[in-house]
Amino acid sequence: MEKTFDQKMRCVRLYIEEHTMTDKTQEVHCKYLGDTEELCWVFQPDKFDQEELTLSLRETIARCLKCPVFDEAIRRSTGRRKSDKLLTLTLHRLLGQLVDYDTELVSITGSLQKKVEELAVLKSVSEALLKTQDLRKVMLITLTGVTSGEAFGFNRGMVFLVNTDTKTIDGQIGLGHLERDEAPMVWSQISSQKLTFDDLIDRILNGPDLPPNRLTTAIEKISIPLRPEYGILPRTIIDKQSYFVESFEGDIIVDRGLRLIMKDTPFAAIPLIYEGSPLGVILVDNSINHKPITAEDIATLETLANQAASKIENAILQNKLEVRFAELQHIHALLMDNQKYLVKSERLADLGRLATTVAHEIKTPLITIGGYADRVLKKAEAGQIDLQSMKTMHDEIMRLERICKEMLDYSQKSQLNLEQNDLNQIISETLHLEAGKLKYQNINFETDFYPEKLQLLSDKDRLKQVLYNLIHNAAEAMANGGKIKIQTGRKGDYVFLRIEDNGCGMESDVMQKLFTPFFTNKRNGTGLGLPVSKKIIDDHGGNIVVESEPNKGTAFTINLPCKNEKLGKEL
């Protein structure tokens, strides 16, 4: 098309040249341009270099077509022959049409060029959006795309988001100036740093968080109820469609705070929609250069808004999760504090109870011993030996010794003498010592041992102490004899030992106090057997589980870790 145009123009020029009468001695300046040195080629075609004229032909002809001199030349050139006249007029019209086509072509090329630039920005924006989950950064990247001179070039961009809790639409972030006199400064800052669109994006993604600008500070104060009667922003959300506000007159309602920012500048509001749900609004204006906002601008902005919406939805979710996580962390910290407090106060209460009980526990045998000692002394003075009283004193002293030892076991940090032991072996050794005594009480044993060794890092004597306690408790629960079943096994990283009796069993209130120091139902019991046992198992990193049914029996299961990380060793 370009070539045909130039060729045709050349023909027209040559034709006109041949048919124009000119005074070749005088220089005639272009009448159309007025006060200019430029010559009119209609009068002096000889003065024009062919090449030069061809190069500037487009402008020259467009100008000449509006020039009365050129018109006159055409008029004069016609009239000799009818065919000449027809040809000249046809060429003249053709010329006019070609100039129109040319103008159209230039404008189409311009808008195509703009489209290409916009697409490039859309691409860069979507690539940048993939690199962050941070809501503020997502909104800043979107607004940079909207205001970048390399594409949309809006003077200002703002984001408002729907707050589902308060049912309002709240101002979030703005890019651009708040007052008009601020704009040249903002722009000169950016242009003096020669920042490209990609530089700006890079700065948002990787640079430090900048403090909010004046526009953002003003927008953050805006919160509009999400109801249609509250104006254009809620309507953009509710109607899920873009609005262009050209004038603030008539029934257009704009929030007061927003109006102060917009200052009667026409603006466009584009909804941010994700999977049919509106999340917010992007608002743009050209308050500095007053460039009109076209329907085409709005259509392209809608594409950008769609891209941004999915990222904004993600970022909002991420934000909510982070807030929830922070809340949970806070609650966790509070619980930990509370737990520490409770444990501490529980321990203090324990200590108080302990002191009272210890005083009572020790006082009773001491009074008994005192009474018997008096009696022994009196008899001794009379030259008699009171063996029975001495035996009772001995028993009570033994009991006192036991209380003191168990209390120390319970209250002190135990020093475990750790070595590799086979749990089956420890049980066998204990049973060997106890079997005779228990048989005498009419108690039978049944064992079901794991067929392989159950190696674990442990303090053999302490574990035996636990076994004694459990076996004695079981035996004491079967006053008329019965059966104790002992089973061992392995479950994952744990080995277990289960001691089951078919004795009297326990009511739930007894079960609840089992591990409380000095809780006993026995006349001569200290009530320290189970608390001490639990402490020993705890020290080994294990736990105790109790099952019991009144009149049916009780089972204690002890689980001990094979890999004892708490003890810092691995088996």
In sign, the C-alpha dihedral spanning 478, 482, 485, 486 is positive
* Shortest separation between residue 530's beta carbon and Mg ion, angstroms: 6
* Shortest separation between residue 520's beta carbon and Mg ion, angstroms: 8
Interface of this chain with Mg ion, residues 296 to 355, rule: CB under 5 A? none
Residue ranges that bind ligand ATP, judged by CB under 6 A: 469, 473-474, 477, 501, 503-504, 506, 510, 514, 519-522, 525-530, 554
Q: Does the protein bind Mg ion through residue 533 (CB under 5 A)?
A: no
Nearer to ligand ATP, 4 or 551 (CB): 551
Out of Mg ion, ligand ATP, none, which partner does residue 477 contact, by CB within 5 to 8 A per kind?
A: ligand ATP
Among 365, 529, 541, 561, binds Mg ion (CB under 5 A): 529
- Please choose, from the candidates 421, 411, 434, the residue with its C-alpha nearest in 3D space to the C-alpha of residue 532: 411
Interface of this chain with Mg ion, residues 227 to 286, rule: CB under 5 A? none
* Shortest separation between residue 423's beta carbon and ligand ATP, angstroms: 20
Q: Which residue is nearest to ligand ATP (CB)?
A: 529
Give a three-class secondary structure readout of 394-416.
HHHHHHHHHHHHHHHHHHCCCCC
172-192: burial string, b at 16+ Cβ within 10 Å, e else: bbbbbbbeeeebeebeeeeee
- Check if the beta carbon of residue 76 is closer than 8 Å to that of residue 20: yes
Nearer to ligand ATP, 527 or 542 (CB): 527
Amino acid sitting at position 359: A
DSSP 173-219: EEES-SSGGGHHHHHHHHHHTT--HHHHHHHHHHSPPPPP-HHHHHH
> What's the half-sphere exposure (Cβ side, CA atoms, 13 Å) at 319?
12
Nearer to ligand ATP, 437 or 522 (CB): 522
* Shortest separation between residue 546's beta carbon and ligand ATP, angstroms: 8
Nearer to Mg ion, 376 or 475 (CB): 475
Out of Mg ion, ligand ATP, none, which partner does residue 111 contact, by CB within 5 to 8 A per kind?
A: none
Nearer to ligand ATP, 309 or 486 (CB): 486
* Shortest separation between residue 518's beta carbon and ligand ATP, angstroms: 8
Nearer to Mg ion, 326 or 404 (CB): 404
Out of ligand ATP, Mg ion, none, which partner does residue 424 contact, by CB within 5 to 8 A per kind?
A: none
The DSSP output letter for 29 is: B
- Please choose, from the candidates 62, 59, 65, 29, the residue with its C-alpha nearest in 3D space to the C-alpha of residue 44: 29
Binding range to Mg ion, per CB under 5 A, among 210-218, 435-443, 467-475, 505-513:
467-475
- Check if the beta carbon of residue 269 is closer than 8 Å to that of residue 232: yes
* Shortest separation between residue 466's beta carbon and ligand ATP, angstroms: 11
Among 286, 473, 554, 559, binds Mg ion (CB under 5 A): 473
- Please choose, from the candidates 11, 3, 7, the residue with its C-alpha nearest in 3D space to the C-alpha of residue 92: 11
Binding range to Mg ion, per CB under 5 A, among 132-140, 277-285, 428-436, 524-532:
524-532
Burial of 510 (0-12, 13-18, 19+ CB in 10 A): middle
* Shortest separation between residue 519's beta carbon and ligand ATP, angstroms: 6
Nearer to Mg ion, 166 or 521 (CB): 521
The DSSP output letter for 431 is: H
Q: What is the dihedral of CA 387, 389, 395, 397, to 10 degrees?
A: -110
Nearer to ligand ATP, 151 or 528 (CB): 528
Out of ligand ATP, Mg ion, none, which partner does residue 502 contact, by CB within 5 to 8 A per kind?
A: none
Nearer to Mg ion, 35 or 509 (CB): 509
Q: Which two tokens stand for residue 296?
A: 């085409």
Q: How far is CA 63 from the centre of its chain?
A: 64
How many residues comprise the chain? Answer: 571
* Shortest separation between residue 570's beta carbon and ligand ATP, angstroms: 33
The three-state secondary structure class of 385 is coil
* Shortest separation between residue 554's beta carbon and ligand ATP, angstroms: 4
C-alpha span between 278 and 445 (Å, rounded): 74
Tell me phi and psi for residue 535, to 5 degrees: -65, -40
Applying CB under 5 A, the residues found at the interface with Mg ion are: 473, 529
